[in-house]
Structure 1
Amino acid sequence: MGRSRTSIENPSLIYDFKEITKMRLAISVVFSSLAGYLLGVDVVNMKTLILLALGGYFMVGASNAFNQIIEKDLDAKMDRTKNRPIPAGRMSVTTAFIIATLFTIAGVAILYTINKQTAMFGAISIFLYTCVYTPLKTITPLAVFVGAIPGAIPFMLGWVAATNDFGIEPGTLFALQFFWQFPHFWAIGWFLFEDYKKGGFFMLPTGKQDKGTAVQVMMYTIWTILVSILPAFGFTGKLHLSIPAVIVVFALGLGMLYYAIQLFNKMTEKAAKQLMLVSVSYITLVQIVYVADKFLS
């Protein structure tokens, strides 16, 4: 993992900007927000869609930049992160802080132009990620529970942006992405266990690559599947799933559960990496199915 990063001899300013804001992660978060918006809206407003994408990107970029400022000394110890702009010495803490602050102001201001609730949830997300999740990572595996809250906000945020209302529908979207994050993060924590240990991070629920962690991975995968099919049963207000869509969503969930069981059986870093990759595909495909079902059924 770390080798490809460190082999970059002279990363450009653009590369460093992408790294400090974690552009790929930010884009996936924006995708979640846009999916939530499309689920909640009656008539798509392109201006709101663009504002949500921009506000969401700034929000995630700010959180990531603050995170890298706080963890700069720990990042320097890990192969995965030692070539990030701050620990590698290519960007000063001051520059990163200016980027993070400007992104925070821009993100919250843009989301505020959509509606106040969207801005409020955006601000809560930045605060929890930066001020609670990041410091807890070196103290307790419970940090993952805290981190799952800002991580689950984007899908819900889209619905709130569309409706200016927080109810059962965005609550369901939040719950789906909340439970999904545990198998996703614990899979990462498993296959990067030794690297995380160098930085003093203990991300696994038992603190070890053991059966206890693997059981929890399976349990949270099952919770994710159960939440994902709720909209088919009429409990979730305006959030519906047709029978064909719920079959597809359930099948995707069983696919992810298969890899969670494989991790339990094999207990290897390779199995954990496979689960991580499958989990990323899972959440993206489920969101696509939800949106497609709304507009096609």
Structure 2
Amino acid sequence: MSKTIENTYQVNRLTDFKEITKMRLAVSVVFSSIAGYFLGADKINFFTVLLLGIGGYMMVGASNAFNQVLERDLDGLMSRTKNRPLPAGRMSVKMALFIAVSFTLLGLAVLYIINPVTSMFGAISIFLYVSVYTPLKTKTPLSVFVGAFPGAIPFMLGWVAATNDFSIEPGTLFMIQFFWQFPHFWALGWWLYDDYEKGGFFMLPTGKRDKGTAIQIILYTIWTVVISLVPTLGVTGNLYLSPIAGVLIFLLGAGMMYYAVKLYRDRDQKTAKQLMFASVSYITLLQIIYVLDKYIRLWI
């Protein structure tokens, strides 16, 4: 019986660790970083890929742990977050801070082994997310704009890890993920509007689920697709996208645009949820297409 209790306790500890570091989000960020690395690398170094994965996870995990420490009281007010380790009382603030600080130091050290520029961008990401974005979430809808900067770093971070340089190529990757975050987070904010309101978070550009917000979602969806297609023009240095890949990206963008326009027409939570998931599919498949397009062209 005692062994069963101990095993359950260990499982719960692991679950809480996954929650405090937001493992699903962290894995998606690592995926973006590795995609960027494959795009920037002339020759794949799998040890560097491993370091990027470990350092990237720690970078995101640290940001999320700090965020949950700062927002633990507000998390307790919202249905979707009230069972997180801190508001539920399963983890102490001291332990959460230990995880956050340890992950920050270890994560930046691991990224520094790759190269100093990668570590620098990792540090900037943590600072902006924790010290600027998090406090602004309860003060102004502009928090989404500020949060888009650290959120856009992972895709370009991989290129920087591969090249030890920041230029037009990683800048383009940054802009793709930067613009993408607006329709993504505004769709999420629309879908979970009532819950965010309980916590006092400003997630929508107008503060309401209205025509103005829907129009801005459409405009930023257009910008996301446009910047995603710029590499087909051959003006972004070594970052190039073939016409066939460009057509695939355009079709993905058309699917995302369909839900953005539908949200403008219907203005309901169901469509907002569909748009949010469409945006996740868009950025994931875009990164896969970018990488496959590069290596298929190299092999042919």
Task: Please name the residue that 2:41 is paired with.
Answer: 41
Task: Please name the residue that 1:107 is paired with.
Answer: 107
Structure 1 distance, partners of 2:125, 2:191, is 27
Task: Please name the residue that 2:96 is paired with.
Answer: 96
Task: Please name the residue that 2:82 is paired with.
Answer: 82
Structure 2 distance, partners of 1:176, 1:212, is 23
Q: Secondary structure at the match of 2:252?
A: helix
Structure 2 distance, partners of 1:128, 1:135, is 10
Q: In the TM superposition, what is the alpha-carbon distance from 1:11 to its structure 2 partner?
A: 6.9
CA change 1:216–1:13 in 2 (3 A) is: same
CA change 1:11–1:190 in 2 (3 A) is: farther
Return 5+ residue gaps in structure 1 as ranges.
1-8
Matched, 1:133 2:133: yes
Task: Please name the residue that 1:194 is paired with.
Answer: 194
**Deviation digits for residues 184-218 of structure 1 (CA, Å, limit 9, x no counterpart):** 00000001000000000011000000000000000
Task: Please name the residue that 1:254 is paired with.
Answer: 254
Task: Please name the residue that 2:68 is paired with.
Answer: 68
Structure 2 distance, partners of 1:209, 1:281, is 23
Structure 1 distance, partners of 2:194, 2:245, is 40
CA change 1:107–1:10 in 2 (3 A) is: closer
**Deviation digits for residues 131-187 of structure 1 (CA, Å, limit 9, x no counterpart):** 000000000000000100000000000000000010000000000000000000000
Structure 2 distance, partners of 1:142, 1:202, is 8
One-letter code aligned to 1:115: N
Structure 2 distance, partners of 1:56, 1:50, is 10
Structure 1 distance, partners of 2:219, 2:10, is 44
List, as ranges, runs of 4+ consecutive aligned residues in structure 1 with deviation greater than 4 Å.
Answer: none
Task: Please name the residue that 2:3 is paired with.
Answer: none
Task: Please name the residue that 1:286 is paired with.
Answer: 286
Counting aligned pairs with the same residue, the percent is: 67
One-letter code aligned to 1:156: M
**Deviation digits for residues 103-137 of structure 1 (CA, Å, limit 9, x no counterpart):** 00011000000001000000000000000000000
TM-score between both structures, scaled by the size of structure 1: 0.96
Task: Please name the residue that 1:295 is paired with.
Answer: 295
Matched, 1:30 2:56: no
One-letter code aligned to 2:274: Q
Task: Please name the residue that 2:243 is paired with.
Answer: 243
TM-score between both structures, scaled by the size of structure 2: 0.95
Task: Please name the residue that 2:204 is paired with.
Answer: 204
Structure 1 distance, partners of 2:287, 2:127, is 26
Matched, 1:12 2:12: yes
Structure 2 distance, partners of 1:108, 1:10, is 28
Q: What RMSD, in angstroms, separates the aligned Cα atoms of the two structures?
A: 1.1
Structure 2 distance, partners of 1:148, 1:271, is 23
Structure 1 distance, partners of 2:221, 2:286, is 14
Task: Please name the residue that 2:276 is paired with.
Answer: 276
Matched, 1:234 2:238: no
One-letter code aligned to 1:39: L
Matched, 1:164 2:164: yes
Structure 2 distance, partners of 1:10, 1:154, is 31
Q: How does 1:213-232 map to 2 (within 5 A)?
A: 213-232=213-232
Q: In the TM superposition, what is the alpha-carbon distance from 1:18 to its structure 2 partner?
A: 0.2
One-letter code aligned to 2:276: M
Task: Please name the residue that 1:146 is paired with.
Answer: 146
